[in-house]
Chains A and B, each alone.
Chain A
Amino acid sequence: MSTSSETPAAVRGTRLSLVNASLGRPGAPALDSVDLDVAPGEILTVVGPSGCGKSTLLRTLAGLLPALAGTVAQDGSPLAGPAADRALVFQEDSLLPWRTLRANVELPLAIAGTARSERRRQAESWLARVGLAGRERQLPHRVSGGQRQRVQLARALAGAPRAVLMDEPFGALDAQTRAGMQDLLVEVLHGSGATVVFVTHDVDEALFLGDRVALLGAARPDGPDGAAGSGRLLAVREVPRPRERSASDDPARLALRREVLTSLGS
């Protein structure tokens, strides 16, 4: 990690690493022996069938769930609980319903101790960036599901985290809204330099957004310690020409898409 340049990516990102890690709740392991390294500023997408431990992986990286075994570290030091440095964007609506959109976005800043006027200014600028200028004083239930997800994104980024963990954030949105959100995400993340781990069940979304894509799958039932229901990391692949819509018919991208679909189907 160089500290010399002005590029925020080099300064802002953080390295997340899992070494031989077992994840899950005690007595109910969800993922076994995961080795994964997410470079600073990288966007890693994670795909896999339902129940293979995608959310567990994210919750562990967020610090909400301690690893059962092995090491989970940020920039080399093991995680000790949740921190503002690693923001989590949930699939379900996690906005506080009694706070206006602005007050929701202000929350991480308030926790960090930012002065009132400054956090108001920043929150308003974030809301404007996600296209919600003029709606600052509305309550979450007054806006649509897609708009709430945008506020969640704004709230996650307002705290200037070095890692953003996203758990199927667009899973509940219709296709058109989802494409708009992906573009917005690329636009907003560009220059923020944050490391991103993005969980999705949509292969095309994973291949569009990710620099690399991680494939999770069920553990082989005859495996050494493959308890029923526990998953494992199958592979991590580089994505050719990430974040280019026109690259969707690139032969290398298509080949990877086939590989991912096959692994999901098995």
Chain B
Amino acid sequence: MTRHLVRAASLAAALTAWQLLTSLDVDLWLRFSQFPTVADVARAFGDRLGGDDYWTDLTDSLTRILTGFVLAAVLGVATGLTVARSRLAEDLLGPLLEVVRPIPAIALVPVAILLFPSNEQGIVFITCTAAYFPVLVSTRHAVRALTPVWEEAVRTMGGGRWRVLGSVVLPGALPGIFGGLSVGIGVSWICVISAEMISGQYGVGYRTWQDYTVVDYPGVFVGMVTIGVLGWLTSTAVERAGRWLTRWLPRTEYVATAHLRVPGARGRVLGPRARKAAAAAVPAGTTTPAHPEGVRDEHLV
């Protein structure tokens, strides 16, 4: 609860500073006199929210990024697995991938324009390429770092290639894959906005650039805030999905003494010693609803 307060206070402080600097027209070395105030931006935001264009822009950008990102996730994981598991695939694809990888996705705009019949597809292509490489690289690393004994265990149970892939490689690599997906969704936003600025019709990036060319500065800030919020929401979604899918991972059991919590109150991060202490503090016969196995974890042969 206190942490939420601290976070809210930090945001509020930044907004207050912005409002003060701009409304007082502070012109030191940085010039805030040209800057729209928070109130201006809020007013512009209110106007936009009432109009249709804002929502069209928003859904267009979201559609582009989600299409590109999902494609990149599927393709990146698939190529990462193949390259890590097959020497032939590594020899065939490795050099090509390594040469294409350093090219910034946004530099592929000319390629996209030449290749694709519509701008829309080009933007999705650029977004997809941006997210593809982080996902590919982290998948490849994660698969190569798997504990060999897991695979051997499944093979000695009679599991074939596909069983090993589905029961060991994919779940075992998930933590690493999600590292790549988190990076990927961030890069995707950068590229979808840039691509929209260059060649889009509708979309948050397109609108922001339009506002800039018609000197509508509050509008530019509305666009920036929108991008920020959307980016934050999508990365949180990826992060959440990752944590949920890899909830089997033993999380760090570090706990600062000041934050020692009692089991029952979301005591998920309790260290072993803290857990024991907390268990001792609970009167005998009381059940600890949230995490009973933590207390029962004695070393019983």
Q: Is A49 an interface residue (CB 8 A)?
A: no
Residues on B with C-beta less than 8 A from A147 are 300-301
A112-126 Cβ-contact flags toward B at 8 Å (1 or 0): 100000000000000
Measured CA separation A84–B168 after assembly (Å): 17
Asked whether B167 lies within 8 Å of A107 as measured between CB atoms, the reply is: yes
Kindly provide the distance from the CB of B214 to the nearest chain A CB, expressed in whole angstroms: 53
Asked whether B168 lies within 8 Å of A94 as measured between CB atoms, the reply is: no
Q: Which residue of chain A is the closest to B171 with respect to CB atoms?
A: A98
Measured CA separation A147–B157 after assembly (Å): 20
Measured CA separation A143–B298 after assembly (Å): 8
CB contact list, A173-196 vs B, under 8 A: 176-177, 180-181
Partner of A111, one of B163, B249, B250: B163
Q: Interface size class for chain A?
A: 35 or more
Residues on B with C-beta less than 8 A from A176 are 301
Q: Is A39 an interface residue (CB 8 A)?
A: no
Partner of B157, one of A142, A143, A159, A177: A159
Residues on A with C-beta less than 8 A from B299 are 144, 146
Known: A84-B157, A84-B158, A111-B157. A143 touches B297 (CB 8 A): yes
Partner of A96, one of B150, B155, B158, B250: B150
Asked whether B156 lies within 8 Å of A64 as measured between CB atoms, the reply is: yes
Asked whether B154 lies within 8 Å of A107 as measured between CB atoms, the reply is: yes
Kindly provide the distance from the CB of B155 to the nearest chain A CB, expressed in whole angstroms: 4
Asked whether B301 lies within 8 Å of A177 as measured between CB atoms, the reply is: yes
Q: Is A8 an interface residue (CB 8 A)?
A: no
Asked whether B301 lies within 8 Å of A62 as measured between CB atoms, the reply is: no
Q: From A85-93, A222-230, A252-260, give the one contacting chain B.
A: A85-93
Residues on A with C-beta less than 8 A from B167 are 96, 107
Residues on B with C-beta less than 8 A from A150 are 301
Residues on A with C-beta less than 8 A from B150 are 94, 96
Asked whether B158 lies within 8 Å of A112 as measured between CB atoms, the reply is: yes
Residues on A with C-beta less than 8 A from B159 are 107, 111
Partner of A146, one of B163, B293, B301: B301
Measured CA separation A131–B300 after assembly (Å): 10
- Among A82, A83, A90, A138, chain B packs the most CB atoms within 10 A around the CB of A82
Measured CA separation A88–B157 after assembly (Å): 8
Residue positions of A touching B, CB distance < 8 A: 62-64, 81-88, 90, 92-94, 96-99, 107-108, 111-112, 131, 135, 138-139, 141-144, 146-147, 150, 155, 159, 176-177, 180-181
Question: 4 tightest CB-CB pairs across the interface, nearest first?
Answer: A84-B158, A98-B248, A94-B153, A108-B157
What 10 new A-B contacts, CB under 8 Å, besides A63-B156, A94-B150, A96-B167?
A64-B152, A64-B155, A87-B157, A88-B156, A94-B153, A96-B171, A98-B174, A108-B158, A143-B297, A144-B301
Residue positions of B touching A, CB distance < 8 A: 149-150, 152-159, 163, 167-168, 171-172, 174, 246, 248-250, 293, 297, 299-301
